Amino acid sequence: MHGARGTMTSAERLAIAAGIVCSNIERTPVAKPVSKGRHNWHGACFTIVAGLISAKFMLRSAFYTGLVTLGVPALMRRWRAAGVILCYHNVLPPRNARVVGDAGVHLSFERFAEQVHWLVRRYAIVPLAELVARLRGAQRLRGTAALTFDDGYDGVFAHAWPLLHDLRVPATVFVVADRPDRRDAFWWDHPDLARHTAPPDRERWLTELKGDAQSITSALSLATPAGFPASHRPAGWDAIAAAAAGGGLEIGVHSATHRTLTRLDDGEFEREIVASREAIRVRAGVEPVLFAYPYGIWDARVRDAVRKAGYHGAVTLDYGLVGARHDPWALPRVNVPASISSAAFQAWAAGLHPRRGQARSG
Ligand SMILES: [Zn+2]
């Protein structure tokens, strides 16, 4: 077991050093015009090194603390000609003590504020649309970061955005077009879901049940519980429109219903990709130009539909930084789980993640 700094074995130190070397020579991310979506190719070098270090250890904070102590993330930020798109979901009220919903997506305000202040000192934080424009124009990406929030939670508008606005930090919120009118809990936040968290269940929900909230909640007999916190619900149109009107906050499209797009036919794309954009344009008073794939799941057919609909770019949940050769309609991101340590956050943002290419729910 490796509980703290200073307890690493020589073999582990060697493995970390080898990992650093391999990361530094790792390939530039390659555009994937045809992809199976969630399962990226893993760099052979990184995989070999990862195999030398136990998965358990790789995930422990000692690994990331060691990297930060050695200055590796800082080196990588300066070295790699790539930008980073961070993916958040919700931000809780300050001093929130109540634990509700999917623990991975509801980030404490204090941890979020710490991350933002750290980012402001080290990155040029630009609107995602600008990062996409730089990519398409073959302009500099090194040292740039963009902040994104999936699902349009009320907590983002009530707690995250006021902080970002005060700091003049731009951000993009991807809204599920059908949700601001309903404002009931997303299925993955239901308190009773803990009884159904086996991986095969979740896989079946996203495939056979198409990630469809109605199908999943009826299959599990779930209903939004009374007293569910406002911050955990989708924001209403008033909050979305007011924030968007103030400048600096970009609204993107996260489909109409948050279903698994790869499981839908072309006819349903009209509602999910085209009509959803029009609904957000009318209700939020903005012109969305960016799309986020629900659950991060996409394939070539979905990607082409989004491109043909006129979007300037689209984001996945495939892990990675954005380099010059990336496909603007299949951009990787760095998902920020609510429990992440500050050392792991710094390492992941610099492209140092041992389990590359994994998607996250949401
Ligand atoms: Zn989502």
Across residues 33-52, what is the average pLDDT? 35
CA of 338 to the centre of ligand 1 (A): 15
Which contacts (CB < 8 Å, 24+ apart) does range 97-103 have? Answer: 98/229, 100/189, 100/191, 100/228, 100/229, 100/232, 101/185, 101/188, 101/189, 101/190, 101/191, 101/232, 102/188, 102/189, 102/193, 102/361, 102/362, 103/338, 103/339
Q: What is the pLDDT of residue 102?
A: 82
pLDDT winner (highest mean) among 225-234, 333-342, 351-360: 333-342
Cα-based torsion angle of the residue sequence 77, 79, 83, 84 in order, rounded to the nearest 10 degrees: -40
Enter the tokens of residue 314.
């689209």
Report CA(239)–ligand 1 centroid distance (Å): 19
Please give the distance, rounded to the nearest whole angstrom, from the Cα atom of residue 360 to the centre of ligand 1: 10
Q: What does the pLDDT read at residue 5?
A: 35
Read off the pLDDT band of 40 (50, 70, 90). very low
Distance 295 CA to ligand 1 centre (A): 5
Q: Which pLDDT does position 46 carry in this prediction? A: 33
Cα 2 to ligand 1 centre (Å): 35
3-state secondary structure 161-175: HHHHHHCCCCEEEEE
Give residue 328's pLDDT. 98
Q: Give the model's pLDDT for residue 212.
A: 80
pLDDT at 185: 86
Please, which pLDDT band fits residue 52 given cuts at 50, 70 and 90? very low
State the maximum Cα–Cα separation within the chain, in Å, rounded to a whole number: 61
Position 97 pLDDT exceeds 90 = no
Ligand 1 center–CA 150 separation, angstroms: 5
Across 166-170, 180-184, 276-280, least confident range: 180-184
Contacts of 39 (CB under 8 A, 6+ apart): 357
Q: What is the CA(14)–ligand 1 centre distance, in A?
A: 39
Please give the distance, rounded to the nearest whole angstrom, from the Cα atom of residue 151 to the centre of ligand 1.
Answer: 5
Distance 141 CA to ligand 1 centre (A): 26
Q: How far apart are CA 183 and CA 275, in angstroms?
A: 19
pLDDT at 237 over 70: yes
Residue 303 token pair: 């990607």
**CA 254 / ligand 1 centre spacing (Å):** 7
CA 122 to ligand 1 centroid distance, Å? 28
Predicted confidence band at 183 (pLDDT cuts at 50, 70, 90)? confident
Range with the largest mean pLDDT of 13-27, 60-74, 221-235: 60-74
Residue indicated by tokens 């991310």: 29
Does the structure show a pLDDT above 70 at 24? no
Q: pLDDT tens digits, residue range 203-213? A: 777 887 777 87
How confident is residue 197, by pLDDT bands cut at 50, 70 and 90? Answer: low
Tokens 């797009």 -> residue: 261
Q: Residue 313: exposed, middle, or buried by beta-carbon count in 10 A (0-12, 13-18, 19+)?
A: buried
Mean pLDDT value of segment 28-47: 34
Q: How far is the CA of 149 from the centre of ligand 1 (A)?
A: 9
Rounded to whole angstroms, the Cα distance separating 256 from 187 reads 15
Q: How many residues does the chain have?
A: 362
pTM attached to this predicted model? 0.82
Pick 95 or 98 by higher pLDDT.
95
Averaged confidence pLDDT in the chain? 82
Domain extents in the chain: 10-349
* Mean pLDDT along residues 54-76: 80
The fraction of the chain above a pLDDT of 90, given in percent, is: 61
The CATH superfamily label for domain 10-349 reads Glycoside hydrolase/deacetylase (3.20.20.370)
pLDDT confidence of residue 209: 76
Cβ atoms of residues 359 and 38 within 8 Å: yes
Confidence of residue 26 (pLDDT cuts 50, 70, 90): very low
Confidence category of residue 22, pLDDT binned at 50, 70, 90: very low
pLDDT at 220 over 90: no
Distance from the alpha carbon of residue 126 to the mean position of ligand 1, in angstroms = 22
